[in-house]
Structure 1
Amino acid sequence: MKTAALILALLALTACKEDQAKAPPPPVELTTAALSFFCQMNVLEHGGPKGQIHLEGYPAPLFFAQVRDLVAYMKSPERDARITAVYVSDMGKAAGWNDLGPNNWILAKEAQFIIGANVAGGMGAPEIVPFGDEATAAPFLDKYGGTLLPFTAIPDEAALAPVDLSQFLETPS
């Protein structure tokens, strides 16, 4: 009887540890110390939605000044650590394109993304714009166009295709 109780207790502890291991790390507040992974420029000096990727074994996340860059990183096979969490700005909760708020993060897998909108992100390229839900994305879609998709359906070309920086893209207010 004692052996059975001990086995059940060990199984319960193992299950708890597995649940804790599956919980993503929390997002990190966006501050002036955040530098964009690809260009090492200050993230807050560029408008539009941002992203952060947490990697196993790394003490701080990788920040991205543009969600398009985050998606490009995710689609790249050249990563040297397991991804434990991906967060993006929820533009439905942002005060504006240049005022996201320091803690306005949503897990990328829970967000909806507008691709193909006539908007430039923080680095001047066409942006992939995240929203917490379809309802908050609707006014943006009406104004700037595009297609609403979940994170897993963003096509490679939305993040990896060459960019013509001479095209006119709007910068939302």
Structure 2
Amino acid sequence: MIFAGGLVVLAGCQEQVSETLPPPIAMTEEAVGYFCQMNILEHPGPKAQIHLDGLPYPLFFSQVRDGIAYDRMPEQNYKIRVIYVTDMSKSADWNNVGRENWIAATSAHFVVGSNMAGGMGSPELVPFSNPDDAQKFAEQHGGQVVRLADIDDATVLDNAALNMSHPSDEIAHTPDEDDYRGRLEKLRKE
């Protein structure tokens, strides 16, 4: 009888140990994309933010796909605590996605393979809290509705490498941008 009571007490202690995740942070004019180092409010489409263990502020990403790519890359210095993505179910439209309407990536329904390009002009993973909204978006813009765990690595990683290796001729390149792309390409080959 005493032993059984001890188990109840221990079980209660384990519940108190559960980790409290940091809340999402509203986007401000100071929020810059981790990869592009550009103001993310200047780009259309959904965004991502990743909270890392030991860091006070999240990393922001100009595209959801870039945030998921970061998560899938093997070289991480910090443990990822949580990934938040823009909830397009609560967004006004593609160009006005909102600053505070975030959803945990693990709770979102993503449209993969739509004809909508993300903020950096690459294929985008479009997140919704409401699966019906995701399905309606897929019917209008193509693609299929999947959960985060069902998005394969090639969807986020191969497209990133392809777009970096063969930048569109339609994009105007500055000498600084070309130098930056050259350095990234060199790192990719190493």
TM-score range, shorter chain: 0.7 to 0.9
Give distance in 2, aligned partners of 1:39 and 1:9.
51
1:18 equivalent in structure 2: 17
Higher normalized contact order (CA 8 Å, seq sep 6+, divided by chain length): 1
Alignment counterpart, residue 112 of structure 1, candidates 80, 91, 109 = 109
Report which of the two has the higher share of helix.
2
Question: Where do 4+ consecutive residues of structure 1 move more than 4 Å?
Answer: 7-10, 164-168
**Counterpart for residue 86 of structure 1:** 83
Tell me the equivalent position of 1:155: 152
Equivalent position SS for 2:55: coil
Aligned to 1:32, what secondary structure does the other structure show? coil
Which residue of the other structure, out of 111, 114, 120, is the alignment partner of 1:123? 120
Distance 2:153 2:14 in 1: 37
Q: 1:137 aligns with which of 134, 137, 141?
A: 134
How far apart in 2 are the matches of 1:25 and 1:120? Answer: 29
Which residue of structure 2 lines up, in the alignment, with residue 171 of structure 1?
Answer: none
**Unaligned ranges ≥5, structure 1:** 169-173
Identity, in percent, stands at: 45
Contact 2:135 2:145 in 1 (8 A): no
Superposition deviation, residue 134 in structure 1: 1.5
What is the aligned-residue RMSD (CA, Å)? Answer: 2.3
Taking the aligned partners of 2:169 and 2:130, their CA distance within structure 1 comes to 29
Asked if 2 retains the 8 angstrom alpha-carbon contact of 1:128 and 1:158, the reply is: no
What TM-score comes out, normalization by structure 2 length?
0.78
Offset, 1:122: 0.1
What is the rounded CA distance, in whole Å, between the counterparts of 2:148 and 2:11 in structure 1?
34
CA contact (8 A) 1:49 1:97 kept: yes
> d(CA) in 1 for partners of 2:15 and 2:61?
33
Amino acid in the other structure paired with 1:18? V
Work out the number of aligned pairs and report it: 164
Counterpart selection for 2:71 from 70, 74, 78: 74
Deviations 1:25-51 (A, max 9, x none): 110111111110111111101000000
